Amino acid sequence: VNRELMQQAQARLDAKTKPPGALGRLEEFARRMVAISGTGSPDTSKKVIYTFAGDHGVTDEGVALYPKAVTTQMVYNFLAGGAGVNVLARHVGAEVRVVDVGVDNDFGDLAGVIHRKVARGTRNFAKGPAMTREEMLAAITVGIDLAEQCRVEGIALVGTGEMGIGNTTPSSAIIAAISGKAVRDVTHRGTGIDDDALELKIRVIEQGLAINQPDSTNPLDVLAKVGGLEIAAIAGLVLGCAANGIPVVIDGFISTAGALIASELHPNVADYIFAAHRSMEIGHSFMLERIGVEPILDLNLRLGEGTGAALAMSLIEAGVKTLNEMATREQAGVTHE
């Protein structure tokens, strides 16, 4: 990112009709948006949230509260505009784009879906690798392609989201593999499983790590062996946004697992990431720290889909607007300090 533009943006913020720094993190959002986009006055009107859908073979182990069919059902709900992410994206003026990267359902050429299916879900990582290396790379490429497309379209701000029954399980597996932390310390209740199911989920992840032996120093190996297709696509989207100078707002726990893979691959990727919120899932804060980003919201959200990203995008936009629209003390005839 452009550090000189960042300093110029802060100097312009300091000339506004407010005490220096008084808009707190809104000022951070504004100067980072300038530095990432490379333009002094970013136009934030074009905002897109990509909601990647994929299924997970590991649900065969009974780790999820809802049946796999719900992933497909929710894709139809996204198209109908009735899901949480639809409501919140409309509220903030963002567009939701639904990407089938790995749903265990044949959507044919259903309109409204971006059809980039790599496989009908991952394999059960408790028994072997979730994906082949080729599948993993194909899913990452989906995200990279979409980021490329965003640059062409002039999208100012990208959000990540996901839908995939069972996908907190691979997310916890990814953190455990990369950090070496105990599975128990990074595994939580997902959509709301009880104590027994939580113990089962921990055992399944431990088994998956023992069987697959992912190389903790190789994020792509971890991703292929215990990750998910939608998580890989998010990793690719984050990488692609960084490569194309597009700010990307990562949603909650699962999106952050994807962003962690991207960030582990290149240290500069974090410069392009905004963390939407602090999830209820334990292990989330650890991932955010490792990436080096501070969450914007803390509203006990745990829905995913891109819901938190939508809300955070509006706050980032608010910061940019203070830079673009507030009067300077000079313009307003306000006495300097």
Which residues are catalytic, by number? Answer: 305
Closest approach of a second copy to the CB of residue 321, in Å: 5
Is residue 11 part of the contact set for a second copy (CB under 8 A)? no
Q: How far apart are the first and last CA of the chain?
A: 32
Position 270 contacts a second copy (CB under 8 A): no
Site track 174-193 with a second copy (rule: CB under 8 A), x = hit: -----------------xx-
The set of residues, in sequence order, having a beta carbon less than 8 Å from that of 6 and lying 6+ positions away, is: 31, 32, 34, 35
Here the tokens at position 223 are 């991703």
Half-sphere exposure of 271 (CA within 13 A, CB side): 17
Distance CA 156, CA 160 (A): 14
195 binds a second copy (CB under 8 A): no
317 binds a second copy (CB under 8 A): yes
Query: Could you tell me the CA-to-CA distances from 212 to 58, 127, 132, 221, 256 in Å, in that order?
Result: 13, 8, 12, 10, 22
40 belongs to the binding site for a second copy (CB under 8 A): no
Quick check: 325 binds a second copy (CB under 8 A)?
Answer: yes
Min dist CB 114 to a second copy, Å, is 20
Closest to a second copy by CB, 19 vs 180, is: 19
Q: Rounded distance, CA 187 to CA 281, Å?
A: 7
Among residues 18 and 151, whose Cβ is nearest to a second copy?
A: 18
- Among 296, 309, 313, 316, the residue binding a second copy under the rule CB under 8 A is 296
Number of residues that bind a second copy (CB under 8 A): 58
Q: How far is CA 202 from CA 121, 162, 172, 298, 300, in A?
A: 21, 22, 9, 26, 22
Contact 107, 74 (CB under 8 A): no
Q: Compare residues 100 and 317 and give the one whose CB is closer to a second copy.
A: 317
Binding to a second copy by residue 53, rule CB under 8 A? no
The least distance separating a second copy from the CB of residue 17, rounded to whole angstroms, comes to 5
Query: In angstroms, what is the minimal distance from the CB of 323 to a second copy?
Result: 9
Q: How near is the Cβ of 155 to a second copy at its closest, in Å?
A: 19
* Closest by Cα among 274, 282, 267 to 246: 274
Burial class of residue 324 in the structure, from the number of CB atoms within 10 Å of its CB (0-12 exposed, 13-18 middle, 19+ buried):
middle
Give me the DSSP letters along 177-234.
HHH---GGGG---TTT--HHHHHHHHHHHHHHHHHH---TT-HHHHHHHH--HHHHHH
Choose between 149 and 191: whose C-beta lies nearer to a second copy. Answer: 191
Q: Which stretch binds a second copy (CB under 8 A): 53-61, 141-149, 178-186, 329-337?
A: 329-337
Which chain residues interact with a second copy by CB under 8 A?
Answer: 16-26, 65-67, 69-70, 73-74, 76-77, 80, 82-84, 86-88, 90-92, 191-192, 280, 296-303, 307, 311, 314-315, 317-318, 321-322, 325-327, 331-335, 337
